[in-house]
Amino acid sequence: MWSEELTVDLVLKNARVFTPNGIFNAGLAIEGDRIVRVAKETNLPPASETVNLNGDLLLPGLVDIHVHLRGQGLSYKEDFYTGTAAAAAGGVTTVVDMPNNIPVTMSVETVKERIKSAGDKIVVNVAFYSAFPEKHEEAKRIVVEGGAIAFKFFMSRKVGGIDPKDNSAILEALREAAGLDVPVAIHAEDIRLIEERKKKVELLEKEGIEAYLEVHSPSVEKAAIERAAGLAEETGAKIHICHLSSSKGLGAVLAAKKKGLQVSCEVTPHHLLLTVEDLKSKGATALVNPPLRPKRDVDSLWKALRDGSIDVLASDHAPHRLEEKFPPIWEAKTGISGLETMLPLLLTQVDRGLLTLETLIRMASERPAEILGLEGRGRIVEGGYADLVVVDPSERFRIDPSTFHSKAKHSPFEGWTVKGRPVKTFVNGRLVMDEGEIVAKPGDGRVIRRLREA
């Protein structure tokens, strides 16, 4: 335990520090993995190491609660080192990994194996979702023994032990999650509507992007959210709607919130900054699921972002080899590499006056940590973890996927000029990224398990 008379491990000085009470010209004292002082330079203790941040912004590291790190049987797309290196390069200090892997993360054994596989490779904090098991009573063991931090449920296809058409099984699973006080992240697209619409477009011999958009329409998202909200109301479960994409979906979320249900939601940078026209012009490079929408939907998401109706900004980092994205549309892989572009893209919107820095940090750091119970993370406060990103807010640069740390070196944002570059990232008090270079060793990151006893 540090006392005021002792020398601390690290002092970061001469920064503009973002705190819950505002932005101040100040510095931080760090001992071990914790922030022990936020103060003017004259009030900081002596340190073994002092870093002058030259007036740059010092922000809480981002907490990205929607990330596909791949690894294991999908390591050719991304592995735990490259994925977490991408996070560090983008100022993301905590990522929460999705369960649709090979093997699917859905049992005590598969969660433990995933944690073991990640442990000696990661350079940032990593927590893990689990899919629901076949036997709902196994859910508690997955959290308590396995270490999963939350559950993920895909309503669009079967991932894990539960058929998304089986309401009784879903109800049992949600009751288990509610009893554990563990949130459930939802991919909200209704499987029955997807199957019906796909049969229809096939009968009409429609194909390509227009057919894909018809199958994955806003109505499919809306129906899934309404169904999920009804099941949550019956069980008392906390649900989190992933990658909200449409005004219809937003309306369903707002209706659930108005009823007092425990519902949160997220939006991605690509659903805020790209439209269906980008999908048509860029092709599968911009193919994501749910797909990009018309401008009217994007405008509704921006309005909800500003008025606080949307809770979280998340990347949905979903890396694939480029060639996997260009087969016929029904076989093409959906998803983009987002960890390294999220913060610069959002800082650019701050610079343009479309978003406040306070909203950005609330939605990309503070609120995600709150939703998943990541105590001590997401804010710069004394006693909190020293998960930090230093940003040069004046630096302009062009997004160049060939420089990504991720294995997925392609992006629909290629060539965009952005303003605001992450220049240093600290995780648990340790410098892991410096001027774009990963200086941490594989395994320097930390696996985060659920803190509250289930």
Per the CB < 8 A criterion, the answer to whether 75 and 409 are in contact is no
> 124: which 2 tokens?
């940032």
H helices of 283-335, in order, are 295-307
Token pair 């899934």 is at which residue?
224
Token pair 């892997």 is at which residue?
101
CB-based contacts of 35, cutoff 8 Å, min separation 6: 28, 29, 380, 381, 382, 383, 384, 385, 386
Of 190, 221, 217, 187, the residue nearest 201 (C-alpha)? 217
Distance between CA 417 and CA 348 in Å, rounded? Answer: 9
H helices of 125-166, in order, are 139-141
Distance between CA 54 and CA 394 in Å, rounded? Answer: 13
Of 282, 263, 265, the residue nearest 274 (C-alpha)? 282
In angstroms, how far is the first alpha carbon of the chain from the final one? Answer: 29
Catalytic pick from 316, 387, 392, 444?
Answer: 316
Amino acid symbol at 365: S
Per the CB < 8 A criterion, the answer to whether 123 and 438 are in contact is yes
Q: Catalytic residue at 181?
A: no
Strand partners, 127: 96
Helices 218-235 and 247-258: crossing angle in degrees, nearest 10, is 20
Residues of 54-90 as b/e, b for ≥16 C-beta within 10 angstroms?
eebbbbbbbbbbbbbbbbbebbebbbbbbbbbbbbbb
Pairing status of strand 47-52 against strand 34-39:
unpaired
Per the CB < 8 A criterion, the answer to whether 238 and 184 are in contact is yes
> 422: which 2 tokens?
């992450």
Catalytic residue ranges = 316
